[in-house]
Amino acid sequence: MAPLLFACRVFTVVAMIGSLSACGLHSAPPTFTASGFVADQGVIRLWRKDDGQQRPLVLMSVYSPYRGPGTITTLYEYQNGVLHQIRRTDADGDRDSIQLRFTREGTVSFMQRQLATRREKISSDDIALYKYQARRILEVSNALNAGQIRLLQGHWLQGEVRSCRGEVLKPNFGEQAEAWIAQRAANSSQPVSVAWLDGPGGRELLLVANDDFCRWEPTEASL
């Protein structure tokens, strides 16, 4: 796969934040947050851990395409709020993965790209692209947190959701969205997973899948 189809459509994200946010809310976000947005032909879900000064420590991005395989997980790690490392893996974990480590000045101190049968160097153009993507995803995360947009996930159980935290919720996604969920559930031998966004101004269903989101959803301790 080409370097992460960083699928962030800025106007789409801004519109989504505007529709789910409410004006005048400026309370500081917690140190561990989950959010997300609609991307090109898929969804990006974000989990983030900050230090006590609201500087990022770890930002985990999971890109899930609407069709076909190709989930990409990227970990951005920071030291004193400065990008220190990027680690990216595809759905198979070893088919295509990259690791980049940076000095405080932004110089590359370590790089590796692992393909199925070989390792190869990462080009300077790709390094520049990964650094750009890191800046953009952090900016989007900042905007989502400022708008108090929160991601929730869980198992769909006949109109209710058992969240990954064990809570039983009734999100009321709306007739069309729930019909879509019911159709997926009818064709699955196990409960389907759902992911959605909650904000002061509303709710938006992001993803329905047979994958068990709760099996791998990070927590503050694991991230």
What is the tens place of the pLDDT at every residue in 153-206?
999 998 899 999 999 999 989 999 999 999 999 988 889 999 999 999 899 999
Percent of the residues in the chain that have a pLDDT greater than 70, as a whole number: 85
Note whether 119 and 192 are same-domain residues: no
Rounded-to-integer distance, Cα 204 and Cα 177, Å: 9
Residue 139 covered by a domain:
yes
In this model, does residue 216 exceed pLDDT 70? yes
Q: Which two tokens stand for residue 31?
A: 């140190």
Asked if 133 and 168 sit in the same domain, the reply is no
User: Is the pLDDT reported for residue 9 higher than 50?
Assistant: no
Q: Is the dihedral of CA 186, 192, 195, 196 positive or negative?
A: positive
The pLDDT, as a whole number, for residue 4 is 37
* Prediction pTM value: 0.86
Using one digit for the tens of pLDDT, what is the confidence trace for 83-104? 999 999 987 555 679 999 999 9
Quick one: pLDDT band at residue 3, thresholds 50, 70, 90? very low
Same domain? 164 vs 184: yes
Strand 82-90 versus strand 96-102 pairing type: antiparallel
* CA gap 127, 142 in Å, rounded: 23
Cβ atoms within 10 Å of 21's Cβ, excluding its own: 19
Residues 177 and 103 in one domain: no
Q: What is the pLDDT of residue 19?
A: 57
The answer as to whether 2 is a domain residue is no
Domain that holds residue 16: 10-148
| Overall average pLDDT of the 71-88 stretch | 96
Measure Cα distances from 64 to 55, 107, 128, 156, 208 in Å.
Answer: 26, 30, 23, 19, 11
Judge if 32 and 76 occupy the same domain: yes
Mean pLDDT score of the chain, rounded to an integer?
Answer: 87
pLDDT (0 to 100) of residue 76: 98
Domain boundary residue among 96, 113, 148?
148
Only one residue has tokens 């769909």, namely 156
Same domain assignment for residues 137 and 160 = no
Last residue of one domain, picked from the residues 113, 148, 183: 148
Residue 70 structure tokens: 């190709």
Asked if residue 4 is part of any domain, the answer here is no
Look at residue 222 and tell me if it is in a domain: no
In order, the DSSP letters of 56-108 are EEEEEEEEEESSSS--EEEEEEEETTEEEEEEEEETTSSSEEEEEEE-TTS-E
Look at the block and give the residue holding tokens 């109109």: 159
Query: Could you tell me the pLDDT band of residue 14, with boundaries at 50, 70 and 90?
Result: very low
Q: Residue 77 — pLDDT band, cuts 50, 70, 90?
A: very high
Q: Is the dihedral of CA 92, 93, 95, 98 positive or negative?
A: positive
Question: Does residue 119 carry a pLDDT above 60?
Answer: yes
- Of the residues 114, 133, 148, the one at which a domain ends: 148
